[in-house]
Amino acid sequence: MRLYDSLSRGVHDVEPVEPGRVKIYACGPTVYRYVHLGNLRTFLLTDLIRRALEFEGLDVIEVQNITDVGHMTDESSPEALDKMLLAVEDEGLQPLEIAEKYTQEALEDMAAVGIRLPDVMPKATDHIPEMIELTQTLIDRGHAYVVDTGSVYFDVTSFPDYGKLSGNTLDKLKAGHRDLETDPAKRHPADFALWKAAGPGRLMKWPSPWGDGFPGWHIECSAMSMKYLGERFDIHTGGTDLRFPHHEDEIGQSEGAVGHEVVSTWVHGGFLQLTGQKIAKSTGNVIRAPELIERGLDPLAFRWLTFQTRYRSQMDFTWEAMETADQRVRQLRRHVAEWGDPAPVLGPAAEEADARFREALASDLDMPTVVRIVNDLDRSADVPPAEKRALLASWDHVLGLDLERDADAAWQPDEEVRRRVAERDAARAAKDYASSDRLRDELQGMGLEVMDTPDGTKVRPR
């Protein structure tokens, strides 16, 4: 698998630090607001990288954080309002209740578009000690300083590589950098907070060696990525807007603390635009996954829509294109059902299509080509229907479009299967994971795929 690395500005092979196992860190949702389709496009990129690597037979460990503190200031407004405080006022809930509510909403929206849950979803507020420790390490190593108020800043002049990811090197920043942190005690305008002293009215604050306060936003991703994935890991993903300052600052922190490169490949996804404007809260142009469902569209078809554009390019969202994608996915499902049972072996034409599919995926996730390959196969007169069915069922592990849905709808579990499903749900409710795993293995042994859904165990023919 080859991916474009934003740092070296080139396409490279993914060569995991630990052979056979790829470690991925993805910047996750900020939970004082809903996630929108633009966020979901970025999260889908990570999901796709993971699925493609697993399709190649690699193990993947994926960590995606939940930002529930530290990125709560609206830096686009002159008053620098704390968004969490605004949400607390608007909704009459406590900060942790707000965070819990929007975390659940984010997980549901991610599941709706077929994003598989990461292996670990650490919350920033559960990792304050790790962030304090990392901040202390940076002070000890001469990369950070404490000011009178009790805030701690990263000293950008102590890190000669500052700017290597975004191109915002210090000579350029001196000229026209908008000062996001207004503290006059800062030594350089680009210095950024690792720890902020709690001002009056601050609801979320923690004790620290420098007094009560709260962590800066960037430090959480350094602390949590290295805690769960180690001091060297393979892929770090995020939206292109995170390259600066968030990921630039993360590089300074992580490499400043350990003294060597931490991330092998930086992958950044392009914006989703709506009528020419970036989909972001500040523009008021926010579409959420539930709105797709309300309009009678299958949210999984949003995946197919995103596949039409290379992931680094800006993508325009229109309802017309979304409806076309929805119709196409439904049509593919009908075709899969019509093609009958999957063939156990592939002929030469199907093997060739499979090789093309794998090559397109490996080529920095060339999904527009993948779409063409799927369409070609659908129309092909050279590949027998049973082989088309087998191929699309296999490819769907990456596409995630539930292409066998119509074919499965005709299938009904027998009495024995239904009994095991009920037993497994009871075992899971009782937290008897040994029995639950045994029953899953038994169901799989009967040739079934076993899925955990919010409504309990679901099975279908594999």
- Is residue 88 a contact residue for Zn ion (CB under 5 A)? no
Least gap, CB of 421 to Zn ion (angstroms): 39
**Cis, peptide link before residue 95, omega less than 30° from 0:** no
Binding mask 178-217 for Zn ion (x = CB under 5 A): ----------------------------------------
**In whole angstroms, how close is the CB of 225 to Zn ion at the nearest point?**
8
Q: Cα–Cα distances in Å, from 403 out to 48, 230, 340, 345, 391? A: 16, 37, 13, 19, 11
Judged by CB, which is closer to Zn ion: 136, or 222? 222
Residue 375 parent element (H or E) = helix 367-379
User: Minimum Å distance from CB 73 to Zn ion?
Assistant: 15
Residue 14 vs 221, nearer CB to Zn ion: 221
CA distances from 227 to 64, 70, 82, 120, 171 (A): 12, 18, 28, 11, 33
Cβ closest to Zn ion, residue 66 vs residue 221? 221
Q: From the CB of 47, what's the least distance to Zn ion, in Å?
A: 17
Give the shortest CB-171-to-Zn ion separation in angstroms. 26
Q: Which of residues 140-159 bind Zn ion (CB under 5 A)?
A: none
Shortest distance in whole angstroms from residue 163 CB to Zn ion: 18
SS3 295: coil
Residues in the interface with Zn ion (CB under 5 A) total 2
Considering the rule CB under 5 A, would residue 292 count as an interface residue with Zn ion?
A: no
DSSP letters spanning 123-162: BGGGGHHHHHHHHHHHHHTTSEEE-TTS-EEE-GGG-TTT
Write out the DSSP string of 67-112.
B-SS--B-TTSTT--BHHHHHHHHH---HHHHHHHHHHHHHHHHHH
Q: Which is nearer to Zn ion, 221 or 315 (CB)?
A: 221
Residues between 1 and 20 that touch Zn ion (CB under 5 A): none
Binding mask 159-178 for Zn ion (x = CB under 5 A): --------------------
Q: At its nearest, how many Å lie between Zn ion and the CB of residue 125?
A: 15
Q: Which is nearer to Zn ion, 221 or 305 (CB)?
A: 221
CA 39 – CA 112 distance, rounded (Å): 13
Contact call for residue 26 and Zn ion (CB under 5 A): no
Q: How far is CA 220 from the centre of its chain?
A: 16
Backbone angles phi, psi at 459, to 5 degrees: -130, 155
Site string for Zn ion, 215-254 (x = CB under 5 A): ------x---------------------------------
- Cα separations in angstroms, 321 against 48, 270, 316: 21, 18, 9
**CB-wise, 221 or 443, nearer to Zn ion?**
221
Which member of 3, 14, 26, 27 binds Zn ion (CB under 5 A)? Answer: 27
Q: Are 203 and 85 in contact, with CB atoms under 8 Å apart?
A: yes
Least separation in angstroms between CB 65 and Zn ion: 6
The reply to whether 373 sits near Zn ion by the rule CB under 5 A is no
Residue with smaller CB distance to Zn ion, 220 or 387: 220
Buried b or exposed e, range 170-202, using 16+ CB within 10 angstroms:
beebeeeeeeebeeeebebbbbbbbbbbbeeee
Q: Token digits for 228?
A: 């769960």
Q: Which helix (H) or strand (E) holds 15?
A: none
Shortest separation between residue 27's beta carbon and Zn ion, angstroms = 3
What lies within 8 Å, CB to CB, of 77 at 6+ separation is none
Q: Of 88 and 124, which CB lies nearer to Zn ion in the complex structure?
A: 124
- Tracing tokens 């630990």 back to the chain, one arrives at 18
Residue type, 69: V
CB of 224 to Zn ion, least distance (A): 9
Q: Which is nearer to Zn ion, 138 or 427 (CB)?
A: 138
Minimum distance, C-beta of residue 246 to Zn ion, in the bound complex (Å):
6
Nearest to residue 4, comparing CAs of 235, 210, 171, 253? 235
263 binds Zn ion (CB under 5 A): no
Is the CB of 27 or the CB of 367 nearer to Zn ion? Answer: 27
C-beta of residue 274 within 8 angstroms of C-beta of residue 291: no
Give the residues lining the site for Zn ion (CB under 5 A).
27, 221
